[in-house]
Amino acid sequence: MKILPSEITSYKNYLNRRKFIKSSVATGLALGASTNLYANHSSDQNIYANQLDENDRLNSFEEITTYNNFYEFGMGKTDPSENSGNFKPKPWSISLEGLINNPQVLDLEKLLQQVTVEDRVYRLRCVEAWSMVIPWQGFPLSELIKIADPLSSAKFIQFVTVFRPEEMPGQNKRLLPWPYVEGLRMDEAMHPLTILSTGLYGHELLNQSGAPLRLVVPWKYGFKSIKSISSIRFVDKQPEATWSMLAPSEYGFYSNVNNLVDHPRWSQGTERRIGEFKRRKTLMYNGYEEEVGYLYEGMDLRKYY
């Protein structure tokens, strides 16, 4: 789906509209404006100043939505934006399964009326050593977990991407075992930084960005942030995760950003921020060490990488 700059709401206008139209807060979306987002990108930095670290700037909507990893639409960085036009993210439902008191299939639109959508700026760090700074809209995963009401035996959560090879051309190829799956430990899933995103820059998620619902875990590598989630399973043992199954020596289950543990084929000590030329030093836990470091106290972070 091709979105023109003239069709995208500037973030400043989006915030003002959200303050005025209370009913739109549940969805975190503001549609139909005609302001050129790219032209107003520099002013958006000021809106997010209290969420941006020193020397950080937001990546543009264009950068975020045209440079993607989403193998369901192809292996190239531009393939998702070029090949996802036939994907249909509406209507959408999420199946809650496994060790829970309330197994059910939730309609996404109804779910968004029950949760609190927030605006959050998070860094996204990919294992390929590139990164972005993205203004997400989303709600804490913990709110959905509370709806599921897991049993005490549920120690992990597994997420599953929708399987629609007729709409996702990459799923017609043996690039990966489909559908894509990922997982988190329960305390990671319940952490307040962990969100399910429904949009970015005040706009609904585009198909290439994981529409209509994707996981965002900002202290982990980007491949943990599974896209187009169709089901969530609560389990008692560490679940399978696609890349950890395929290449366990390269992609550990935890996949925390750790500048001291290199990928076998490249260093993780530095990263390239999209839109910049000079490389940056990679920060432990992607810069969220103060918030999440306690989750891994006593663990061998080279063994549990």
**Which of 141, 97, 127, 119 minimizes the C-alpha distance to 51?**
119
Mean pLDDT, residues 33-52 taken together: 53
Prediction pTM value: 0.86
Residue 203 forms part of a structural domain: yes
- Strand, helix or coil at 223? helix
Are the CB atoms for 238 and 183 separated by under 8 Å? yes
Mode of pairing for the β-strands spanning 130-140 and 270-273: parallel
pLDDT of residue 32: 30
Residue 125 forms part of a structural domain: no
Residue 73 forms part of a structural domain: yes
Q: pLDDT per residue over 96-149, tens digit each?
A: 999 999 999 999 999 999 999 999 999 999 999 999 999 999 999 999 999 999
Q: Please give the residue range of the domain that contains residue 64.
A: 5-120+135-242
Confidence band, pLDDT 50/70/90 cuts, at residue 299: very high
Residue with the bigger pLDDT between 104 and 24: it is 104
pLDDT of residue 52: 85
Burial class (CB in 10 A: 0-12, 13-18, 19+), 73: buried
pLDDT of residue 91: 97
Domain total for the chain? 1
We report the CATH number of the domain holding residue 36 as 3.90.420.10
Are the CB atoms for 222 and 126 separated by under 8 Å? yes
pLDDT of residue 30: 31
Residue with the bigger pLDDT between 106 and 21: it is 106
Residue 267 forms part of a structural domain: no
Residue 235 forms part of a structural domain: yes
Residue 265 forms part of a structural domain: no
Q: pLDDT per residue over 138-179, tens digit each?
A: 999 999 999 999 999 999 999 999 999 999 999 999 999 999
Cβ contacts of residue 134 below 8 Å, gap of 6+? Answer: 58, 59, 64, 121, 122, 123, 124, 200
Mean pLDDT, residues 186-209 taken together: 97
User: With 90 as the cut, is the pLDDT of residue 36 above it?
Assistant: no
Q: pLDDT per residue over 235-255, tens digit each?
A: 999 999 999 999 999 999 999
Residue 28 forms part of a structural domain: yes
